[in-house]
Chains A and B, each alone.
Chain A
């Protein structure tokens, strides 16, 4: 069938009914069939089980027991930060397990996205450190936890020991506000990290973070920092590369960036600021709409396993929730990573993010985006 020919025929009024109807039907079938497969893909998942998690956790090393049991990996879908995850889940993304943290758990629960976890179905549960599970707001109405703690760590500063001159002073958050290094400082783009660091720097106790005075004080310190900042990003790889090249001398990071750079021989240290670092606990939670609940429990059990724990501590420098994972590491190694086999020690020494409301999050992100844009 020649398209040009038909157009010509139509113009001349010579198009036969049969040909006209045939071409219409072809167009109709074409239209229908283009929408069908996409629709199906949206409504179903592969049945392998899906873990919707932070970038960097979407790796096979954390699923050794899962692979041994099922012979395949679950589907691993990364997100950039909790806001990104919540937006996508609200828009209808289907997964089995996701990865909230203590500071944003209430938002997942408040938006009715989670189902409570039956800990008796997790073989590694008896080894999980109870201090980590007893978080504020982590008990569902049925008495079971929402979140099974998996990783914990700190948000602090990774700095170049050869380029950043401490001048004999203590490590402090002021390092990220040091005008000597203007244009060589990196900061997380996500307010879920940076705003809290700003609160510590401004001396606002986390219990008062939801006051107008706190908003003004934190916004003021963040505005003061902005001219010094080279880039705001949530891309940890970009921060690590910039630290390695010397483009940045200090950057807000998690434990893993310092551990990774050290393992590559870059002279860096993970600061233990005198004001206290920001500490966090994250974990696995099962989504209410999870299509593969059995696989969801296997995903969580795999995350809690000692194999995963050794990888988390040894390669990423994060704390793990399974106490047996720490047995392979000596105290000096753990201290260098900003960790301890007694997590309560670290969690008490640092500043633990409090539970905040969605309204607070909205207001904080609004102010934070304006500060980043220079207002």
Chain B
């Protein structure tokens, strides 16, 4: 990148006239050229992520006053989160539920990705499209579809009643944490299959042959070669699912019932009916910090595990 001297002199004939200084600056300064080329992304990132985040951070230090805000900086909202058990418990429940959903998603998607990566030899793209086909439907519609499947007179209950296995419909299927976990597991599956597939596909098949030659059975081979080498995909998939589902709003709102409420629902209520935007901002910031902490811990543990295997 820095070897500008090797460039053909015809192309590099120094800009001299009209475009003047800016052009010269651009010509000399490679970093500036790079930033200019990245500027669309940088602008979107600044306007769409950094500025809203700063607004959120500032509002979280305000307090509510009637309809408006008291803009004196204060830690009152953060103190409430620490002192009132409700926030901690809802946060813990959100992590617990989305953690189970993440593990379940990966457990279900890993075999699918494995199959496509190792046992499908022709038309892999077609298979991948087939697997992700259900996810072309809107997220909201998929959540509603689960309501129909899990409902009191839903697909599962009516078939079980028809088969005579149960007398009355199972009520725990809908309006419960179970319903939320099942739905999240299905709804985010596409985000697990693709990274898992990519990491499995990249594995050098000769390593597997070598492992077999040296006496590993299929199971040992899987745990010693395939799984460790596909860990980057597992980690990526876990993050892709865990981070957004922890703050999920619509799934617990439609399927959770009284006991399936998650922190996202409380944040929504703070910005809606409770009308306490500063508290909602505080909860969002704390959720972000906790997710970052959990993600880092997870990353550290997997690194540790990988190092031990290697």
B273's partner among A27, A31, A81 (CB-CB below 8 A) is A81
Are B4 and A13 in touch, CB under 8 angstroms?
Answer: yes
Are B67 and A374 in touch, CB under 8 angstroms?
Answer: no
Tell me, yes or no, whether A45 is within 8 Å of chain B by CB. Answer: no
Are A226 and B171 in touch, CB under 8 angstroms?
Answer: no
Tell me, yes or no, whether A71 is within 8 Å of chain B by CB. Answer: no
Smallest CB–CB gap between B270 and chain A, Å?
8
Are A247 and B153 in touch, CB under 8 angstroms?
Answer: yes
- Given A245-B152, A375-B85, decide whether A230 and B266 contact each other with a Cβ distance below 8 A: no
Can you name the residue of chain B whose Cβ is closest to the Cβ of A370? B86
Tell me the bound Cα distance from A242 to B271 in angstroms.
29
Which residues 135-151 of B sit at the A interface, judged by CB distance below 8 A?
Answer: 151
Can you name the residue of chain B whose Cβ is closest to the Cβ of A15? B33
B28-53 CB mask vs A (1 if < 8 Å, else 0) is: 00100110110110011000000000
Tell me the bound Cα distance from A65 to B32 in angstroms.
64
Tell me, yes or no, whether A22 is within 8 Å of chain B by CB. Answer: no
Q: With a CB–CB cut-off of 8 A, which chain B residues contact A374? A: 258-259, 261
Are A30 and B4 in touch, CB under 8 angstroms?
Answer: no
Size of chain B's interface in residues, with CB distance under 8 A? 47
Are B1 and A191 in touch, CB under 8 angstroms?
Answer: no
Smallest CB–CB gap between B196 and chain A, Å?
28
Are A359 and B33 in touch, CB under 8 angstroms?
Answer: no
Are A362 and B274 in touch, CB under 8 angstroms?
Answer: yes
Tell me the bound Cα distance from A268 to B152 in angstroms.
19
Tell me the bound Cα distance from A245 to B30 in angstroms.
69
Interface of A is mostly: helix
Tell me the bound Cα distance from A10 to B32 in angstroms.
12
Q: With a CB–CB cut-off of 8 A, which chain A residues contact B297? A: none
Smallest CB–CB gap between A325 and chain B, Å?
33
Are B33 and A231 in touch, CB under 8 angstroms?
Answer: no
B257-269 CB mask vs A (1 if < 8 Å, else 0) is: 1110100011001
B204-242 CB mask vs A (1 if < 8 Å, else 0) is: 000000000000000000000000000000000000000
Which residues 7-27 of A sit at the B interface, judged by CB distance below 8 A?
Answer: 10-17, 20, 23-24, 27
Tell me, yes or no, whether A232 is within 8 Å of chain B by CB. Answer: yes
Q: On chain A, which size bracket covers the interface?
A: 35 or more
Smallest CB–CB gap between A265 and chain B, Å?
17
Q: With a CB–CB cut-off of 8 A, which chain B residues contact A247? A: 151-153, 169, 171
B269's partner among A11, A110, A358, A369 (CB-CB below 8 A) is A369
Q: With a CB–CB cut-off of 8 A, which chain B residues contact A11? A: 1
Tell me the bound Cα distance from A64 to B153 in angstroms.
38
B67's partner among A246, A358, A365 (CB-CB below 8 A) is A358
Q: With a CB–CB cut-off of 8 A, which chain B residues contact A20? A: 26, 33
Tell me, yes or no, whether B178 is within 8 Å of chain A by CB. Answer: no
Tell me the bound Cα distance from A92 to B249 in angstroms.
23
Q: With a CB–CB cut-off of 8 A, which chain B residues contact A10? A: 33-34, 37
Which residues 269-301 of A sit at the B interface, judged by CB distance below 8 A?
Answer: none
Tell me, yes or no, whether A183 is within 8 Å of chain B by CB. Answer: yes
Tell me, yes or no, whether A373 is within 8 Å of chain B by CB. Answer: yes
- Given A31-B43, A81-B273, A111-B67, decide whether A231 and B175 contact each other with a Cβ distance below 8 A: yes
Are A17 and B23 in touch, CB under 8 angstroms?
Answer: yes
A362-373 CB mask vs B (1 if < 8 Å, else 0) is: 100110111011
Are B152 and A232 in touch, CB under 8 angstroms?
Answer: no
Can you name the residue of chain B whose Cβ is closest to the Cβ of A34? B44
Tell me the bound Cα distance from A83 to B90 in angstroms.
23
Tell me the bound Cα distance from A242 to B174 in angstroms.
12
Tell me, yes or no, whether B66 is within 8 Å of chain A by CB. Answer: yes
Tell me, yes or no, whether B19 is within 8 Å of chain A by CB. Answer: yes
Can you name the residue of chain B whose Cβ is closest to the Cβ of A27? B40
- Given A27-B40, A361-B275, A373-B266, decide whether A17 and B15 contact each other with a Cβ distance below 8 A: yes
Tell me, yes or no, whether A115 is within 8 Å of chain B by CB. Answer: no
Tell me, yes or no, whether A353 is within 8 Å of chain B by CB. Answer: no
Smallest CB–CB gap between B7 and chain A, Å?
5
Tell me the bound Cα distance from A212 to B295 in angstroms.
43
Tell me, yes or no, whether B276 is within 8 Å of chain A by CB. Answer: yes
Are A83 and B273 in touch, CB under 8 angstroms?
Answer: yes
Tell me the bound Cα distance from A11 to B2 in angstroms.
9
A83's partner among B4, B43, B275 (CB-CB below 8 A) is B275
A358's partner among B8, B37, B39, B66 (CB-CB below 8 A) is B66
Tell me, yes or no, whether B307 is within 8 Å of chain A by CB. Answer: no
Are B66 and A87 in touch, CB under 8 angstroms?
Answer: no
Can you name the residue of chain B whose Cβ is closest to the Cβ of A31? B40
Tell me the bound Cα distance from A31 to B46 in angstroms.
13
Q: With a CB–CB cut-off of 8 A, which chain B residues contact A373? A: 86, 90, 258, 261, 265-266
Which residues 31-50 of A sit at the B interface, judged by CB distance below 8 A?
Answer: 31
Are A230 and B275 in touch, CB under 8 angstroms?
Answer: no
Tell me, yes or no, whether B64 is within 8 Å of chain A by CB. Answer: yes
Tell me, yes or no, whether B310 is within 8 Å of chain A by CB. Answer: no
A190's partner among B11, B171, B273 (CB-CB below 8 A) is B273
Tell me, yes or no, whether A224 is within 8 Å of chain B by CB. Answer: no
Can you name the residue of chain B whose Cβ is closest to the Cβ of A247? B152
Q: Which 3 A-B pairs have the closest CB atoms?
A: A247-B152, A83-B273, A365-B273
Question: 20 A-B Cβ contacts within 8 A?
Answer: A10-B33, A27-B40, A83-B273, A83-B275, A87-B271, A183-B171, A226-B258, A229-B258, A230-B175, A231-B175, A231-B257, A245-B152, A365-B274, A369-B269, A369-B274, A370-B86, A373-B90, A373-B265, A374-B258, A374-B261
Which residues does A use to contact B, with CB under 8 Å? 10-17, 20, 23-24, 27, 30-31, 81, 83-84, 87, 90, 110-111, 183, 190-191, 226, 229-232, 242, 245-247, 358-359, 361-362, 365-366, 368-370, 372-375
18 more contacts with CB within 8 A, not counting A84-B273, A87-B272, A365-B274, are A10-B37, A14-B7, A23-B37, A24-B39, A83-B275, A191-B273, A229-B258, A358-B275, A362-B64, A362-B276, A366-B274, A369-B269, A369-B274, A372-B258, A373-B86, A373-B261, A373-B266, A374-B258
